[in-house]
Structure 1
Amino acid sequence: MIKVRVLLSPIRRVFVYAVLIAGGRGERLRPLTANVPKPMVSVAGKPIMQHQMEWYLEQGVDHFVISCGYLHEVIEAHFGNGSEFGAPISYAIEHSPLGRGGGLRQGMQQVPRDDELVLASNADILTEQNLDSMFDQHRADGNMATILLAPYISQFGIVELDGRKVSNFATNPVLPHWINGGIYVLNRAFEDHLPEVGDHEDSTFPNLASRGLLGAFKSKARWRGMDSVKDHANLEKELANQPLNYAGN
């Protein structure tokens, strides 16, 4: 039984639809992905995608489209039509690989054309970011799409030097760079710029950036990705000590 999450505080209902890109095989997460697609790997007792969907509900989303292909039956069996989850869920199923951009395009085709904005995300990431400020920036800047950026945390320890002497060691420091956080605010017309097959990060985003239509929202809220068995173990440990909190970010 899926437990419906209760909203912690009133959220402006700007967004209605969220499209989740959930076609990942998660090869680097094997054996955790031997029988489930990457977004269905359990973290803190539930699929990582379910954590993300609960966060979306806090943002006022009330309809999900899940773009999936590999082992899509596992996703459908868990979430069904959304009746036990608190929001309707529909599925855009790839019968042959479309890539993330093609999958997103197919998912957006299920969003009504008169919706002004659509949220989209890779279904295997977590954040505590409140999206009101991201929406405000997107609208004020007149972008076609706005990407949530997260600080770049080094996977390696850094050696600090004083001339030719080691002065200190820093474990997993935050570097002065930003990474694509995989969460997007999109104008409804963004669908028309997506490839039928391929990755939007290789085609659509560079094209929009060259035309000054791609915005960047720098998020300092907690953000975590899960791309390896080590990431999964670290995330399990972190959430056991510091559960997700969607209020006040």
Structure 2
Amino acid sequence: MKAVILAGGLGTRISEESHLRPKPMIEIGGKPILWHIMKIYGAHNITEFVICCGYRGYQIKEYFANYFLHMSDVTIDMSQNSMEVHQRYAEPWKVTLVDTGADTQTGGRLRRVRDHLDGTFCLTYGDGVTDLNITNVVDFHRSQKVEATITAVQPMGRFGSLEIGNNRVTHFLEKPRGDGRWVSGGFFVCEPSMIDRISGDADNLEGAPMEGLAADGQLAVWKHDGFWHSMDTLRDKENLERLWASKQPPWKLWK
């Protein structure tokens, strides 16, 4: 099974970082968040990826082209124009990098990689991490016999919550759940047939294509009560950095 990662957006809400590099290449703990996402899938034995590049996509290509250089110690002999890689290590990944256009919307990006997909596939954005059991979601999707399954999450609130009685705070929650509504967590399992619902580059994935699937009863939902965190803003990045520094980041499903 392959995982498609949408990695071509501008990331305007985290422009402090994304003006220099594509959002999926913004680092958490010294590694691009794209690497973290791929490690999550790898923990569920999904090791083939199709990455939809766009804005500054050449930086993503260069990262994988020079993966040994990023991940290993090296000795560079300038006089001999040679490089020796020490403790050579690489992930067991097969990565297809596709330039899907600078201005293409999310649905259009998926449509452009249709030829690289030959069966049920996973799909996500390049800016969110989770402890989702992807294996269970894939099994659930297949049992539902639908064109797509969406993961629903309840994100944490942005502000602390107060419970008040008799002019006194009776309970304080630093970051409670939001308003109780379920939102898209951005992790999907899909059949290639759902791509036929995307008309062109201007289509957003979670617009008409998903609305059409829902109207036809072809969009199942998996409710995830565990950890989920997107990286939309600099504050989000800082939160993820703190979690990674704790040595027990909730999304680290690999050893």
Mark yes or no: TM-score above 0.5.
yes
Measured in 1, the distance between the counterparts of 2:157 and 2:242 equals 19
Q: Does 1:214 align with 2:219?
A: yes
Q: How many residues get paired? A: 230
- 2:230 is aligned, of 187, 210, 225, to 225
Shift of 1:29: 1.4
Instruction: List runs of 5+ in structure 2 lacking aligned partners.
Output: 69-89
Shift of 1:108: 3.0
Instruction: List runs of 5+ in structure 1 lacking aligned partners.
Output: 1-15
Q: Does 1:72 align with 2:61?
A: no
Q: Does 1:41 align with 2:46?
A: no
Contact residue 80 and residue 89 of structure 1 kept, 8 A: no
Determine which structure has more spread, i.e. the larger CA radius of gyration: 2
Contact residue 161 and residue 173 of structure 2 kept, 8 A: yes
Shift of 1:146: 0.5
Which amino acid is the alignment partner of residue 194 of structure 1?
A: I
Measured in 2, the distance between the counterparts of 1:56 and 1:94 equals 22
Q: 1:131 to 1:34 in 2, by over 3 A?
A: same
Q: Does 1:101 align with 2:107?
A: yes
Identical-residue share of aligned pairs (%) = 29
Contact residue 118 and residue 186 of structure 1 kept, 8 A: yes
The C-alpha deviation readout for 1:134-160, integer Å capped at 9, x for no partner, is 122212222210011222311122232
Which amino acid is the alignment partner of residue 184 of structure 2?
A: N
Measured in 1, the distance between the counterparts of 2:15 and 2:2 equals 31
Report runs of 4+ in structure 1 exceeding 6 Å deviation.
Answer: none
- 1:235 is aligned, of 216, 222, 240, to 240
What SS does the corresponding residue of 1:60 show, helix, strand or coil?
coil
- After TM superposition, the score normalised by the length of structure 2 is 0.83
Which amino acid is the alignment partner of residue 110 of structure 1?
A: H
Shift of 1:34: 2.2
Partner of 2:135: 132
Q: 1:124 to 1:158 in 2, by over 3 A?
A: same
Contact residue 8 and residue 102 of structure 2 kept, 8 A: no
Alignment RMSD: 2.1
Measured in 1, the distance between the counterparts of 2:131 and 2:171 equals 31
Measured in 2, the distance between the counterparts of 1:156 and 1:108 equals 41
Q: 1:92 to 1:195 in 2, by over 3 A?
A: farther
Q: Does 1:147 align with 2:153?
A: no
Partner of 2:94: 88
